[in-house]
A and B are shown apart, each in its own frame.
Chain A
Amino acid sequence: MHMRRMGAVLSIVALAGGLAACGGGGETYATVADKIAGGGTVVVGTKWDQPSLGLKMGNEPEGFDVDVAKAVLKEVNGGKDVTVEWKESASSNREPFLQNGTVDIIFATYSITEERKGKVSFGGPYVIAHQDIMVRKDDTSINTPQDLKGKKICKASGSNSYKRITDPPPDGELDIDATTVDAANYSECVQKLTGSNLDAVTTDDLILAGFAKQAGGNFKVLGQGFTDEKYGIGLKKGDTKTCEAVNKAVATLWSNGTMKTLLDKWFGGIQGLNLSSTAPPAEGCA
């Protein structure tokens, strides 16, 4: 009988322990900058399924965004390494993750837009990408963005890229009558592009370049960048202190050539991709 009672007690302890463990804990910091200065573990959100930008390899993701994150955090910490915990932040989760504090800071192909500025704060931009179009290699019917009329394009959950095609300004750009196909993320879009359910994936050239490289010649990127996507560093709304710190770090990384090196490392030698070699104009932290 004692054993049985023990079991019941243990399960209740487990229950309490489980709930307490979920509460998190440890020290709390007012801003991410304070957390970095205080030596806390910074939770960094990146993509985990985008080759060359953020792709999970073992315990850590790797890619351009990941390297930029490491470099920026190190710069903010005065050249010392920062303990980082990586967390997957899909397009659809980026705003809630920042608002909820699931992650401290996001480097995940996160374009700065007016709409998003209402929900989160942006540091950067650290690089400028251009929206482009990727189609199947043998598809000759799509050569310019205008050819997308009546075609099926991918609408990745939480991403704005499709609006640039289908909507008029200010949110959109081209106002073309294309059909959208829902997908959870861009890696799903690329999977769909293999079959006939999708005609084109349209999003930032850096993302497409990574996938095209991975897919080994099955797809082609048109090389017709038609927007400027300013990749920002996602922060919790109102965290001006961290925003200013990362902006300074980004400026330094551009002036000492680190950014150029990283861009070449991940995207060097890809045809039709125009890599910027100068720092994008900084936006304020107001």
Chain B
Amino acid sequence: MSTSVLFDAPGPRGRIRNHALTVISVIAVGAVLYAVYRGFDNKGQFEGKIWQPFLQWETWDFYIIPGLIGTLQAAAVAAVLALAFGAIFGLARLSDHAWIRVPAGVVVEVFRAIPLLLLIFFIFYLAPMVGGGGDYAFMAVVVGLMLYNGSVLAEVVRAGVHAVPRGQSEAAYAVGMRKNQVMRLVLLPQAVTSMMPAIVSQLVVLLKDTALGYIIAYVDLLNTGFKILPARFFGSLIPAAIVIGIIYVALNMALSYLATWLERRSRRSRKTAARPVAAPGAAEVGVAAGQGTEGGGLAPDKPLE
């Protein structure tokens, strides 16, 4: 048992108390798990019959994989667009010209404030009125994700550039660089490194939010896995939810670990003078990907023990 700064290694009585707590919590957690198990079992959720479909290749081939492709397609296109949007508007907000800075700021603030589902609905209904007939589910999801996540990323870019110590740009100006050279050669390369973790964790948010497409009948993993699949295999609703839940969690955890790894790497790296930045609303974003907490401080992830 490692010692913490907060208290000494527990003595005999402390150890007994800790053991007692462990036993009680094992019982409590066990009781909760058992209650859940009984609840499921009573409703016959562990019958082989309803799990059977997931052992058949057809289920994956017909429903889960096409849905997963739909989800990944929307996420990939939206991610590229959101990054472009974020770069353009983030830099625009840093402009010295008010006529660029202010409108960019308004756009970013407004799209961050709109509930994403409302935005997607609106685009879904507006697009056919503007662009004529067609299927706009994919476009509505992608554009909605781009506008919202792009706006958040714009803030990340701004914060990233601000996180580079002032001395860097002062030095660059002192050696005679022009404004765009300072940005291009000095600030951005350092900022990008410090922004990486925040960007990746925003991409986790984006990937998760593709599931909103389900509501406008975009063919994504939730649609094929949670609506059509249970209609095809009656009774398999809960197994389906568990299976596609695991897929979503695995995808996002993989991305989150990438974010943590990038953050650790960027903290070690000497190439940047900037500290890693958290996205605005770090709790919603940066922390969301399970990073930003292993730095220093009392890091309860390495528990207070």
Contact = CB atoms under 8 A, between A and B. Distances in A.
Do A and B interact with each other, yes or no? Answer: yes
Interface of A: 1, 4, 8, 11-12, 14-15, 18, 22-24, 43, 48-51, 55-59, 87-88, 90, 93, 96, 99-103, 184-185, 187-188, 190-191, 194, 211, 214-216, 218
Interface string B258-288: 0000000000000000000000000000000
Contacts of B132: 24, 101
Nearest to B238: A191
A219 to B, nearest CB: 9
Interface of B: 58, 61-63, 66, 77, 80-81, 83-85, 87, 125, 127-128, 131-139, 142, 184-185, 188, 217, 219, 223-224, 227-228, 230-232, 234-235, 237
A1 B192 CA distance: 13
A24 B134 contact: yes
A57 B62 contact: yes
A31 to B, nearest CB: 12
B77 A87 contact: no
Contact of A102 (B63, B87, B128, B185): B128
B134 A48 contact: no
Contact of A18 (B58, B77, B228): B77
Contact of A22 (B87, B139, B232, B235): B139
Contact of B231 (A8, A11, A50, A96): A50
B135 A87 contact: yes
Taking each of A12, A88, A194, which has the highest tally of chain B beta carbons within 10 Å of its own beta carbon? A88
Contacts of B237: 191
Given A55-B231, A55-B232, A101-B128, A93 B217 contact: yes
Contacts of A185: 227
A42 B103 CA distance: 43
A216 B235 CA distance: 10
Given A15-B80, A49-B227, 16 more contacts: A8-B84, A18-B80, A22-B139, A48-B228, A50-B231, A56-B232, A58-B61, A87-B135, A88-B217, A96-B125, A100-B136, A101-B128, A102-B136, A103-B135, A187-B231, A218-B235
B177 to A, nearest CB: 13
